[in-house]
Each structure stands twice: as C-alpha cells, then as structure tokens.
Structure 1
Amino acid sequence: MTILKTASAALIATVVATGAFAQDGANIFVIGGKADDPFWSIVKKGAEDAGQIVEAQGGSVTWLGPQNYDNLGPDAADLIRTAIAQDADAIVGPNWVPEAMDEAFQAVTEAGIPLILYNAGGIEAADRLGAMNYVGSDDYLAGKAAGEYFADHGVTNVTCVNTLPGAANLQAQCKGLIDGATGKGGTAQELPLPMSSFGNPTAVAQAVKGHLLESPEVAGLYTIGNVDANSASIAIMQAGAGDRVKLGGFNLDQTILDNIKAGTQLFAIDQQGYLQGFLSVAILNNYVNYGLTVPTRQILTGPGIIDAANVDATLAGVAAGVR
C-alpha cells in the first residue's frame, strides 16, 4: 500500500509541474458504506488518496453513503440517483441488492455516464449493467476459501453469521462457505440476523451466544464483517465455548489481527478494501480525462487469507490505515 501512495504523490507532482491535465477534470461520485463503518473508512481512504490526482487535474471525488443499513438497497439506489442529478462525470458503486439497485445503475449507463462496480456484484453484474469494470473480491470464492480453510484445520461444523441477509454479496459469501465446508465432508449453515443488528455489538454477541448454547455441535463461526467478528469473539467467551469454537471472518482490523496473533481467532479473509476505492477512482479518472481503459474488466482484490503465518506482515498496513 505504501508503494501505491508514494506513486500517487509522484504522479501528482508530475501533473502539477507539467500542467498535463484536462481543463475541467472529472467529477467522480463514489457510493459506499456508512462513514463510521471501519471497513468502509478504509475504502474511502483509498478513494480519497486517488482523489488527490483527480483534484490536481481539476476534478473532484464525492463520497455518498447511507445513514444506516436498515433499508440498504433502496437507500443506495437513491444515492446513485443523487449522483446522476448532480452531473457526475463517472460513478463508482457496489451492487449490494440487485433487485433494488439495478434500475438506478441502468439509469447511469443509459445516461452515458461511465460506471465501475466495486466491492459487490462481480463481473456478472458489471456485464448485466454495462459497467466498465468490476473491482473487488469474489464473495462466493471468499466464502468457499473460508469453508475449506475451516475443514482443512479440523473444523467440520461451521455457522455463517449474516447480519445483512438482504445483501446479495453476503448471501453469496455464506453460500460459498457452506459449499466449501460440505465439499470437504463438513457441515455448515447460515444464521441470518436482522439487518439492524449489523454494527450493533451487543445484539450480535447476544444472538451468537444464544446460537452456540442451542447448538453445541457448532465448532466454527464465520462473520461477514470485522465488527461482527469482534462481537462473535465476545460471544464465544460468554458461552464458555472457547475450547471448542474457532473463529474466522471477512475483513480485518487491529483487534482482529491481535486476536489472530494471540490465537483467539483462526483467520480472516482479506478483500483489500483500500485497493477497491483507489483503483476504481483512478481507472475512471483516466478514462474520463484521457480515454484510457483497463482490458482486464474483472480486477480482483481478494480473497486472501490472513492467519498466524502472515499476520505480522499485515499489521504494518493497519497502522497506515489501508488494511
């Protein structure tokens, strides 16, 4: 990540010194998560770092996020329409809930506005909606990698804790987990919780604790976000299940990496959110200003597995705010 940031600074200096930028610049709108969501703050940092180049070339990057996740699909669709109404030159967005968001994304491409999907949806959604690229992890493969990792480490009964069950990318992740675990002879299931529980540590911890007490055969928990992983860790302790239940999850932060290092969390799946924000904005900026395109339409930033073998190398990225 440091290499990317250094390269950005060098490019900004060159652009400013030579005056080699479009007269008006590109006004890029980025649809993302809540401002206080730990994962999305990293994605936002990536977009803002790339935005330094955009601003040096006379353009701007505007971040639009929902107030909460209770009505995720319709609220995100409204943000897309807001970007269109504010004369966006290009738009970046996740296809979280296709049935609620596809129409808004189609309005983007029908208006001739360049679009990149990132974080959720995959290349299939990019094809369906006419987006230039998809930048992000493959959620099904992320879940499958997690299910296989659990099985390979002797954890044969796993629950996928889904606090955003209406989001297609997270449904795909839980399906991947189930397929990965069962494909290696294990058992897995999904525990869907109300969307209002996402980001609510108390609600998640109580629900997961209840699940563990009611299902003593469960030997592994997988969460769809780093905040939920920390809640699940507390639930495991409260249920007195530390000896039998191993924890894995999607995304990471300082606490999760410390837990992996200490052995209280088995692994985390990394999707490199910083790169999702950075690359999406950079690609669109170059396209709007210079007509440059990336021939590889699916640009995967994950999944990667962080465990005891590579946790130390990842901690430096967390300190820099990019992991």
Structure 2
Amino acid sequence: MRRVAIRVAAFAAFAFSAHAFAAETQFVLITHAPDSDPFWNVVKNAIKDAGQDFGVTVSYRNPPNGDLADMTRILEQVAARNYDGVITTIPDFDIVQAPIRKIAAKHIPFITFNSGTERQSEALGALLHVGQREYDAGMAAGELAKAAGVKRFLCVNNNVTNPESFERCRGFGDAIGADFKQSTLDSGNDPTEVENRVFGTLSKRPDVQAILALGPTSAVPSLRAVQQRRLTGKIYFATFDMTPEINRAIAKGTVAFAVDQQPYLQGYIPVAMLAIMKRDKTQDIDQTRKTLLADANFQRRLKLYGLVPQFGPRHVSTGPSFITRDNVELVEKYAGQYR
C-alpha cells in the first residue's frame, strides 16, 4: 500500500508539473503575411498541434494587411514582453532587424522560419532557421521548365514587400537563361487585381511561354487570366505552395507542378524545439533534434501527412520538393490543412 501511495503521489506530481509547464510556457509566432494568404492556415494548424503535443501555449500574430511597418510594431510589442520563446519570419532584414535584436538582447530564445536566410538568422542571434532556400527552390523549378523548352516567363509576385520572394524569380530566370527583373510582375494581393494585371501582361507579351506564381494568392487568379486568354494547356504554369484548387489543376494537367516547402513543418518544428529546450533546460541543438526525432507524436504526424524534414548540423530544410500529376493524390486530401 505504501508503494502504491508513493506511485500515486509521483504521478500526481508529474501531472501537476506538466500542467504547470503548459500554463506557464508562452510562445509567440510572428509572420509578415496578410490575413488573406491561405498558405498560413497550414502553419496555424501546425503550431496548434505542436502546442498540444508538447504542452505549451502558442500565440499567432501578423499584420492583417501584410504591412511590414505593422509587423515591426508587433515585434516591438513582443520584445517588451517576457515570452518564453519567439518564432519569427525575416521578410526584410533591414526593416525587422532592430526589434528582433531587442528580443535577442533580452536573452529570449528565438527561432526564425520561412522567410530570410540562414546567414541572416545567425546574424540576428537565432538558435536556428527552418525553411527552404528560395533561390535554390526557384532554380530547381526553372530546371523543370527548361527541360520542357521554356525560355521566356512571367513571374507573378504577390509579395513584393518581401525581398526574399524575388529570389524565387531570380533562380527560375537563371535556370532558363532569362532576365528575372524584366520578367517579374508586381501583382498585388487582391484576386481581381491579380487577374487583371496578368491578363493585361499576357495581352502585351504574347511571347510569354510560362507563368511562375509565387503562391496560391497569385496562382488561382492567374489561372483565370490564362483561361480568359484561351491559353489553358498552351502556357506552362507552375506555382509555389498548394491549395485544393491548385491540386485539382495539377491533376487536370493545367498546372505542371507546385513547389512544396512543407509549411506544416515550418510551424511545428520551431514550437517543438523551443518546448524541448525549455523543458530540458538546454540550448544544445543537436540533443534537441535527437529528442524531437525520437518523439512519438512527431513521428506519427510525419507518417500521417507524408512529411520529410531535412535536419542539418544547425538549420532545418523543409524544401523544395515538387507536387506533380504523378504524386498529387498522395497529398491532395491534406492540401490547405497539413500540406
């Protein structure tokens, strides 16, 4: 009976400790994205799942209209509080570095993800960066287009306030031997505006052989513009990221491929690693990575959603991979939620 009582007491103490950890551990994730961009719904699902799996509370904050000045104000507010961990994008290093350095100066552990480079992340003092190298992703996409005979393209950029977004256009252009600056269109984020601008550009530039959209926000209205110009099936179309609409277009052959950067991993991994570091009182990235890879919940989610992270010595690469007509069925049911 005494042993049973000890075990019950130990279990109660553990349960109380876990509850206290969850109640007291507060993380915040900040992005540059407007509310209208569906890409970030997957990230939101990921941070919710990671919070549940690792017993932490995660807040999501962003500038509703994608205004980087607004994002800077959010970062300033975060720096003034004592969060247990911060996760942020780096859409424009020069604009956001000052408030992020204030977070670093308070010795708050933070991880960068999605936008920005590994070098920028290190310069700011982040523990690591989780995402894909945008130029490499654009280059890989361009190589596929080059193999299909593409020499001239239109890069539809709905996120021109993010300097890293141009790296996708530049990589694609370098791969096919085209000038990305002359090939890039500032489309804006309003669907009607995107459609009209793409329609107008295709009218003025009948030599365009391919369209590269930098996300579903620009891809879906661009597809409508292509249809209006009666170019469906005649123009090579590729995009970054997925939605159910994009996947249906891939299955039909209207879209050649989508570049998949696995946004679920971009949200899940930073939360999980910060939680492990907080719980185990360590900033040893190698040990934290090993602990994460051994975690049953993480492995279950990787298998369930067909996700493949690439852990380097410090940083984590989540892409690029490509969704084509050959494999779209494998991810179609999770598009917009977990893929």
Indicate the TM-score class for this superposition, using the shorter chain for normalisation: 0.7 to 0.9
Q: Is the 8 A contact 2:169 2:184 kept in 1?
A: no
Q: 1:257 maps to what in 2?
A: 247
**1:1-323 counterparts in 2 under 5 A?**
18-19=14-15, 21=18, 23-24=20-21, 25-32=24-31, 33-54=33-54, 56=55, 59-69=56-66, 71=67, 73-182=68-177, 189-193=182-186, 197-198=188-189, 200-290=190-280, 291=282, 293-295=284-286, 296-318=313-335, 321-323=337-339
1:154-188 residue CA offsets vs partner (Å, 9 max, x unmatched):
22211111122221220111111111221xxx665
Query: Structure 1: 5+ residue runs without aligned partners?
Result: 1-14
Which has the larger Rg? Answer: 2
Offset of residue 212 of structure 1: 0.7
With over 3 angstroms needed to count, the CA separation of the structure-2 counterparts of 1:279 and 1:163, relative to structure 1, is: same
Whichever residue aligns with residue 60 of structure 2, its letter is: W
Q: 2:3 maps to what in 1?
A: none
Offset of residue 22 of structure 1: 8.4
Deviates most, 150-159 or 20-29: 20-29
Q: 1:7 maps to what in 2?
A: none
Whichever residue aligns with residue 322 of structure 1, its letter is: Y
Q: Tell me the TM-score normalized by structure 2.
A: 0.82
Offset of residue 34 of structure 1: 3.5
Distance 2:45 2:278 in 1: 21
With over 3 angstroms needed to count, the CA separation of the structure-2 counterparts of 1:16 and 1:75, relative to structure 1, is: farther
Q: Is the 8 A contact 1:122 1:298 kept in 2?
A: no
1:3-42 residue CA offsets vs partner (Å, 9 max, x unmatched):
xxxxxxxxxxxx9994364844421000023444210011
Distance 1:205 1:159 in 2: 13
With over 3 angstroms needed to count, the CA separation of the structure-2 counterparts of 1:217 and 1:127, relative to structure 1, is: same
Q: Tell me the TM-score normalized by structure 1.
A: 0.86
SS at match of 2:97: helix
SS at match of 1:284: helix
1:210-268 residue CA offsets vs partner (Å, 9 max, x unmatched):
11111111110001111211111001111222243111011111110110000111111
With over 3 angstroms needed to count, the CA separation of the structure-2 counterparts of 1:16 and 1:162, relative to structure 1, is: farther
Query: Structure 2: 5+ residue runs without aligned partners?
Result: 1-10, 287-312
Offset of residue 87 of structure 1: 1.7
Q: Is the 8 A contact 1:156 1:187 kept in 2?
A: no
SS at match of 2:107: coil
Whichever residue aligns with residue 294 of structure 1, its letter is: I
SS at match of 2:183: strand
Offset of residue 308 of structure 1: 1.0
Q: Is the 8 A contact 2:141 2:259 kept in 1?
A: yes
With over 3 angstroms needed to count, the CA separation of the structure-2 counterparts of 1:322 and 1:16, relative to structure 1, is: farther
SS at match of 1:247: strand
Identical pairs, percent:
27
Q: Is the 8 A contact 1:89 1:114 kept in 2?
A: yes
1:71-127 residue CA offsets vs partner (Å, 9 max, x unmatched):
2x2221211122222321110000001111011111111110111000011211111
Distance 1:206 1:81 in 2: 37
Distance 1:111 1:215 in 2: 52
Q: Is the 8 A contact 2:233 2:254 kept in 1?
A: no
Deviates most, 240-249 or 93-102: 240-249
Q: Is the 8 A contact 1:144 1:173 kept in 2?
A: yes
Distance 1:116 1:192 in 2: 31
Deviates most, 158-167 or 217-226: 158-167
Deviates most, 28-37 or 270-279: 28-37
SS at match of 1:168: coil
Q: Is the 8 A contact 2:47 2:268 kept in 1?
A: yes
Distance 1:91 1:44 in 2: 15
Distance 1:63 1:86 in 2: 15
Distance 1:224 1:83 in 2: 29
